Amino acid sequence: MKAVRYVADGEPRIGRLDGETITDVGPSSPLGFVPSPQAWASVEEASGPDHAFGDVRVLPPVVPQKLIGIGLNYRDHAAESELAIPEVPVVFAMFPSALVGPGEPIVVPRGETRPDYEAEVALLLGKQVKNASREEAREAIGGYTAFNDVSGRRMQLETPLRQFTLGKSFDTFAPIGPCVVSADDVDLGSLGVRCTVSGEVMQDSNTNNLIFSADELVSYCSMGTTLEAGTVIATGTPGGVGDSRKPPRYLGEGDVVEVWVEGVGTLRNPVERER
C-alpha cells in the first residue's frame, strides 16, 4: 500500500497511490502523512475523488520534527571514502527545511563547488519511541520511501571536524518521495536502491549490504532521545558517490537526478544553480 501527500485546490491532502492514480483520503495534517496503523487504515479505505499522478503537485510525504542522516552504512561507501567500518552508526542531523518533493529543483547555492548525490532508503516512524529495543524499533517503523541526501562536499568537509549538518541542509538538498510504502508490505532488509544522473547509473545496490539494519538504526538513535511519530531516518548511501569518482562527478546545471527504491518508484529532481 502506498500513500502520497499532494495539492488539490490549493490544499495539502493525503491520497492512496495505485499505479498512476491517486484516490483522495482527506486533508493533510500539519505533520503530513505519519504512517501509523490508523493512518494506513484510512488510506486503505480511501474513497474520495481520483487524480492522475502527473496532474497534481506531489509534496514531501511528511513534515518531521526530526530528520536524521546515517553515514558510512554501506561497506563499499566506507571503502571508497577510505574510512574504517564504523563500530556504531554514524549519526548526523539535517534541517527539515531542506526537504522538497519529486520534480522540485535541487538548487545549488553560490559558493558550493562540490554538490553530490546520495541515493538512500528513508524510514518513517509510525509511533513515538525512546530507548527502544530492536523489537520495539522494528514495530515503530511505519513506512519507507526514497531519499536523496544531496551533499555540499565543500561545506561538509571544509573543517577538520566536518560540517555535516550545514553541508547537507541547504534549502532543497533533501528530496524525498514520491510516496510512502507500508513497512508491512516489504522486507526492509532487501530493497534495491539505484541512482542515475542524467541517465548514467552512478549507484546500484541493495539494503542487504547495509552495515546497520533498520531496527538497529532506530534503536540506536532513540537512546536517551525521543523520536516522535513522523521522524525520518535516511539509512545511508552505497558506493558510487560523485566525490569518490576519478575524476569526481558533481551535480551541475541541467542535470537530472533519479533515485529509485524497489517498491517505491523513482524520485526525480532537476538541478539548478542559485541565481
- In CATH, what number is assigned to the domain containing residue 229? 3.90.850.10
Looking at the fold, whether 189 and 261 belong to one and the same domain comes out as yes
Identify the domain containing residue 129 by its residue range: 67-273
Q: Say whether pLDDT at 160 is over 80.
A: no
Full-prediction pTM beyond 0.85?
yes
The mean-pLDDT minimum among 25-29, 79-83, 91-95, 167-171 falls in: 79-83
Is 4 within 8 Å of 25 (Cβ atoms)?
Answer: no
Residues 81 and 179 in one domain: yes
All residues at 6 or more sequence positions from 131 whose CB lies less than 8 Å from its CB, including other chains:
222, 223, 224
Share of the chain above pLDDT 90, in %: 89
Q: DSSP letters of 197-242?
A: ETTEEEEEEEGGGBSS-HHHHHHHHTTTS-B-TT-EEE----S--G
Contact 131, 224 (CB under 8 A): yes
> Comparing C-alpha atoms, which of 170, 212, 203, 182 is closest to residue 61?
182
Q: pLDDT at position 117, please?
A: 98
**Averaged pLDDT, 23-32:** 97
Same domain, 161 and 109: yes
Average pLDDT of span 210-222:
97
Domain count, the chain: 2
Residues 47 and 99 in one domain: no
Say if CB 112 and CB 171 are below 8 A apart.
no
Tell whether 26 and 75 lie within a shared domain.
no
Tell me what pLDDT residue 204 has: 97
CA distance 45 to 36: 14
pLDDT at 252 over 90: yes
Q: How far is C-alpha 245 from the geometric centre of its chain's CA atoms?
A: 23
Co-location of 105 and 162 in the same domain = yes
Q: How far is CA 44 from CA 1, 38, 69, in A?
A: 7, 10, 30
| 221 Cα distance to chain centroid | 16
Q: How confident is the model over 229-238, as pLDDT tens digits?
A: 999 999 999 9
152/232 same-domain check:
yes
Q: Using one digit for the tens of pLDDT, what is the confidence trace for 139-151?
A: 999 999 999 999 9
